[in-house]
Chains A and B, each alone.
Chain A
């Protein structure tokens, strides 16, 4: 058995256990910084191992490493590292987080990596649960705030329901195929001819369970409350790692074992994608809280990313992967700025609080404006290339209606992104924010820069995404 296939995961898991033990032995108020730093180090090491790992299938055909898994894992690790770095700056004095926070982010990242490598419906479920369970806890980790408790409870109950649906769908697929491994399921679906209704119901349930994790419409109800109630670094994390992993799964499951029945599920994905884009654009308009705004924005972005999947072609898959990369960069940039929104140590989160940021803190305002323009999709910022690729793929696949809906909601969405820019630069100044912590300033500056200079990285990223899509679709 080729056990080294899971070496990055094993290294990450063992480091997590060691950091946990060390944190328990240290004094409570001193443990956060070492555990966060060590978690970041462990994730970087694991990312290096991912980048150099070899491809193959192992562990009794439940675990696969290919270009696609590597791409998603690197994205997930990048999101995790950025969120933990944000949490270092966020956690001080009044907003102190317990030392378990970075460790739970580490385990959630580990779950997401297992999801990215799943070659079996059981691996899928175990990875998903490891990833989700850590996030349920992270949402409520500031347990003395009512909003945090509400966020944790809501996410936990609805997430459990979604996991139940996913599991039920997986059991129906198992009932049809008699195996839970992806490759044999694909062989049997190819050989089956007419597909029984039970299998179709199973596939629909799997899509529903995963769409819930993606917060795609109509399974998005939890998103705004959970985003608003969680601590900002956790929100940044939630908008990254678990969504990439859920996308990895939905791509892997839909293009892999159920790829042969793509005409049956294409319409479903199209509907979810169109509804998410429209709803994300419309519902964000009346929001006053920047974290709620970002929640609706993430719903919309998931819709755009799903467009590539709806195309059900290798080019579409490549577009989705590039879209997710650009989304990671600009999203973390925005959340970096949100983490720095503090007055006298207290966190403020309304959009009105940003007023006049252009005069009080030009650097932060610049990052915010860059990321907002990038989210609209203004060239030559990062967001443009993601949108361009998924729109192109959908157009080539003949999904003209979906492209029209996408273009329409991009225009509507531009309104609320531009409103943030207007508040930042043209409104009368509110009181200035506190000086941002160095780690937060570093992350937001780096992400702002990456958003601007994404053009330079476009070649390698799109090449890697192309290789990943090829590994998936063949």
Chain B
């Protein structure tokens, strides 16, 4: 009884938030409802005894995918109001196509039949307390032994996606400031940091403020670009504290 109640709560919230993903005016709200939907789906998976899928859903979809969506929605200046302009015009057509597809799929589902000679699915003990394996162990065994070739091929698919993201977006800018690891390793603590005992009531400003490192430190960057002084400042006598890292 309790489990049924929990199921209906999860399912109702899931359906409601999926609807809100589509109907919300503000795209940020849409993404937030999507996240709510993911959490409820994870809850349903937990009820079904698939704890691994539930955790993956939360980690991958909420943690990575939805946050990425949020970034895209917030950082890109997309005029969603303009994108919706054609909505009114195409809504009847879209609804008609959707309706026909839904009717067809409903018909297919109503006459659904599995193969009469289909082997029984293995259910014995998987995921049950006291069974031979937990869900996670069973999935791992299958992935890393039976499907090892596909697993590796999926890795290549991801690698290709990464190559694409880098090739299509990375631009070598002349003002770009690259990390020079050798320089970072050469730095000594004494070059960058000095401990002072300041009298009461006197702060950094009274002692010359923060200082940028001398110009030569950024010799890989173009002078005048952001963060690098255009002309070298005369070295101050009273160097108190140097903000050593690239800002």
Closest to B111 in A: A197
Minimum CB–CB distance from A31 to chain B (whole Å) comes to 12
Chain A residues near B107 (CB, 8 Å)?
197
Interface string of B90-127 (1 = CB under 8 A from A): 00000000000000110111011111111101000000
Q: Are B150 and A137 in contact (CB under 8 A)?
A: no
Question: CB within 8 A of B156: which of A13, A122, A187?
Answer: A13
Contact flag A100-B167 (CB < 8 Å), given A110-B156, A191-B116: yes
Q: Is the interface of A mostly helix, strand, loop or mixed?
A: helix
Question: CB within 8 A of A201: which of B108, B148, B152?
Answer: B108
Contact flag A103-B163 (CB < 8 Å), given A62-B147, A201-B104: yes
Q: Does A50 contact B (CB under 8 A)?
A: no
Q: Does A176 contact B (CB under 8 A)?
A: yes
Query: How many angstroms between the C-alpha atoms of A352 and B38 in the bound complex?
Result: 56
Q: Are B114 and A176 in contact (CB under 8 A)?
A: yes
Chain B residues near A133 (CB, 8 Å)?
157, 160-161, 164
Query: How many angstroms between the C-alpha atoms of A197 and B167 in the bound complex?
Result: 45
Q: Are A198 and B167 in contact (CB under 8 A)?
A: no
Q: Are B156 and A107 in contact (CB under 8 A)?
A: yes
Query: How many angstroms between the C-alpha atoms of A328 and B107 in the bound complex?
Result: 43
Chain B residues near A172 (CB, 8 Å)?
108
How many residue pairs between the two chains, A and B, have CB atoms under 8 Å in the bound complex?
106
* Size band of the interface chain A makes with B: 35 or more
Q: Are B119 and A179 in contact (CB under 8 A)?
A: yes
Closest to B114 in A: A176
Q: Does A196 contact B (CB under 8 A)?
A: yes
Q: Does B153 contact A (CB under 8 A)?
A: yes
Q: Are A198 and B156 in contact (CB under 8 A)?
A: no
Chain B residues near A122 (CB, 8 Å)?
147, 150
Chain B residues near A177 (CB, 8 Å)?
114-115, 118
Closest to A126 in B: B153
Closest to A125 in B: B150
Minimum CB–CB distance from A314 to chain B (whole Å) comes to 27
Q: Does B78 contact A (CB under 8 A)?
A: no
Q: Does B22 contact A (CB under 8 A)?
A: no
Q: Are A198 and B153 in contact (CB under 8 A)?
A: no
Q: Does A299 contact B (CB under 8 A)?
A: no
Q: Are B150 and A123 in contact (CB under 8 A)?
A: yes
Query: How many angstroms between the C-alpha atoms of A175 and B113 in the bound complex?
Result: 9
Closest to A114 in B: B153
Minimum CB–CB distance from A230 to chain B (whole Å) comes to 14
Q: Does A56 contact B (CB under 8 A)?
A: no
